[in-house]
Chains A and B, each alone.
Chain A
Amino acid sequence: MSFTNNSASRTIQSRSAKERTLNTGFIVFSQIFAWSVAGTLIWLACLVGWQAIPAISKFGLGFVFTSSWNPPQESFGVWPEVYGTLASSFIALALSVPIGLGVAIFLSEDYLPTPVQRVLVFLVELLAAIPSVVFGLWGIFVLIPFLKELTPLKSPALLPAALVLGVMILPTITAISRDAMINVPQDLRQAAYGLGATRWETIIQILIPAASSGIIGGVMLALGRALGETMAVTMLIGNANQVSLSLFAPANSIAARLANQFAEASGLQVSALMYAALILFGLTLAINIIAQLLVTRLQKI
């Protein structure tokens, strides 16, 4: 009797000691992996920053405002790229914010029967699935020839790049604004209608302001994507190292500069490209952090 009891309790004990170790191991293991995601972000920032140091110490902040890119003479500056990145992104935003917000309104208020609404939402989101290189290809062979017919456009330029960029960020703006609109408490709608507001007075004066942090968050996320978008822009913007106010003039972007020249760069040019990458990274990081804060605030409400 006592023998059996003893051995049974010993087995249980030894088994649980072993399992406790396994269990702790599992948790620690998962913890390491979770931190490695955050670690990757930091590693990325440090690596790009580290490689950029030679260029940073040589050119300083003037890098951002200089327009030359001359590897043999080791003189580098990204002003045209910074300009082209900002210009193409803001034109894209100017097009897709009103359209995206309009779509979000149309697909969140009960204008359409739910199944129709769901299909349309799905189609808009499918737009986000088209790879950017495919948009680039389409832009080269369809959009640019089409614009050449209609406008003074003669070659790849800022305009086609910005147009395609606008289409590419539309789903982000629509989806996040729509979420924000849907999440506005139903009783605010009722309060407005109850005062004799029409549907559009309710939407514009009550719902949009109430959803504004989510909408702005969505717009910021879209801006972050637009600034960093590479392939479609590289293929359509013309890659010209110049600053021109014309929409029809070739331009450049930071991402396009990286895509075009990294492969054949060496020496200080690599560092200069890393510096450009660092600028783009810093810009998108700041915008993304603000966007995330706004969007998570929306989810908490």
Chain B
Amino acid sequence: MNPLQETFQQTESILRTENANIYYGQFLALKGINLDVQKNKVTAFIGPSGCGKSTLLRCYNRLNDLIPSFRLEGKISYYDRDLYAPNIDPVQVRRKIGMVFQKPNPFPKSIYDNIAYGARINGYKGDMDELVEKSLKGAALWDEVKDKLKQDGRAISGGQQQRLCIARAIAVQPDIVLMDEPCSALDPISTIKVEELIHELKEQYTIVIVTHNMQQASRVADTTAFFNVKVTDQGNRQGFLVECDRTEVIFQNPREESTQQYISGRFG
């Protein structure tokens, strides 16, 4: 076994996926996934479009429950608890495992209320002004918006909106923040800001990020998981995990040929 891989397996795992098959109706979107997400690390999901990165990510906070045809086989656990056990409340899960979406989606409310919303519904009893300030600082947005907290959250730039969404997600103090291509709708400067932010956030949070940008994965991620998609005999596009390892390994010395091809752009 590769010495690097040994250290890789030593850290504590916070999300564990075991033999997961994910269906939309009859359609098997992801097959046989086994994957650990390490605590306080940044894990990147990369792979071609349609391989199921978003699908898996949304399983982690049970957001797929909103899709009636969705079905999961296998087990996903958070620490040692089965996230899909019948007594688990998805609402509580989502509060512990937050999400930042591809397109910035601030609520049609003031900047302040965008952040306070999650805290209020989750029964936060502390000083709200303080929490708003802390969260905005945490998302490196405070200096830019501190004079316009009453303004509509949609009235700021796209990059600022995305950081507002990150601030909103961390205001409820989750354990894990899931990010689905958080920079794909942003300009390069905003992208750099969000990437820097991710670096800071991993002190406190575990981050799982989906990205199409190889450089971004290599810049921000400690661990990278490469997914691929194959066409089955019935003509369905079925996603699967190719490999998951430390980012350096994936980018410099991957085990699989297809990974090598994908990261060097010789794919498809």
Q: A residues within 8 Å of B by Cβ? A: 110, 185, 187-198, 201, 205-206, 209-210
Q: Find the residue from A110, A190, A191, A197 having the highest chain B CB count within 10 A.
A: A191
Closest Cβ neighbor of A211 among chain B residues: B108
Which residues of chain B come closer than 8 Å to A192, judged between CB atoms?
A: 107, 117
Residues of A within 8 A of B107 (CB): 188, 191-192, 206, 210
A193–B101 contact, CB under 8 A?
no
B178 to chain A, nearest CB (A): 8
Which residues from B are CB-within-8-Å of A190? Answer: 63, 66, 99, 101, 105
Partner of B66, one of A193, A196, A201, A210: A193
* B121 touching A201, Cβ below 8 Å: yes
On whether the beta carbons of B109 and A193 are closer than 8 Å, the reply is: no
Distance of A192 Cα from B66 Cα, bound (Å) = 12
| Given known A-B contacts A187-B101, A209-B108, A210-B108, A194 and B122 have beta carbons under 8 A apart | no
Beta-carbon contact of B121 and A197 below 8 Å: yes
* Contact A191-B101, Cβ < 8 Å, known A196-B121, A205-B117, A205-B121: yes
B92 part of interface (Cβ distance < 8 Å): yes
**Would you call A197 and B91 a contact (CB within 8 A)?**
yes
- Cα distance A192–B95 when bound, in Å? 10
Residue B98 CB within 8 A of the other chain:
yes
B244 interface residue per 8 A CB criterion: no
Q: A110-B68, A189-B66, A190-B63 known; A195 and B105 CB under 8 Å?
A: no
Q: Which residues of chain B from 113 to 139 have any CB-CB distance to chain A below 8 Å in the complex?
A: 117-118, 121-122
Chain A CB count within 10 A is highest, among B92, B99, B103, for B99
A209 to chain B: which residues have CB within 8 Å?
108-109
Most buried by A among B95, B99, B105: B105
Tell me how far the C-beta of A183 lies from the nearest C-beta in chain B, rounded to whole angstroms. 13
Name the contact of A195 in the complex, choosing from B108, B109, B117 (C-beta under 8 A): B117
Interface residues of B in 142-193 (CB under 8 A from A): 165, 168-169, 172
Nearest-neighbour CB distance to chain A for B101, whole angstroms, equals 6
Task: List A contacts of B101 (CB < 8 A).
Answer: 187, 190-191, 194
Kindly state whether residue B61 has any CB partner on chain A within 8 Å.
yes
27 contacts between A and B (CB under 8 A): A187-B103, A188-B105, A188-B107, A189-B66, A191-B105, A191-B107, A192-B107, A192-B117, A193-B66, A193-B94, A194-B61, A194-B63, A194-B98, A194-B101, A195-B169, A195-B172, A196-B92, A196-B94, A196-B118, A196-B122, A196-B172, A197-B91, A197-B117, A198-B121, A201-B121, A205-B121, A209-B108
Residue of A nearest to B94 (CB): A196
A185 and B92 contacting across the interface, CB-CB below 8 Å: no
Contact with A along B74-117 (1 / 0, CB 8 A): 00000000000000000111111011010101111100000001
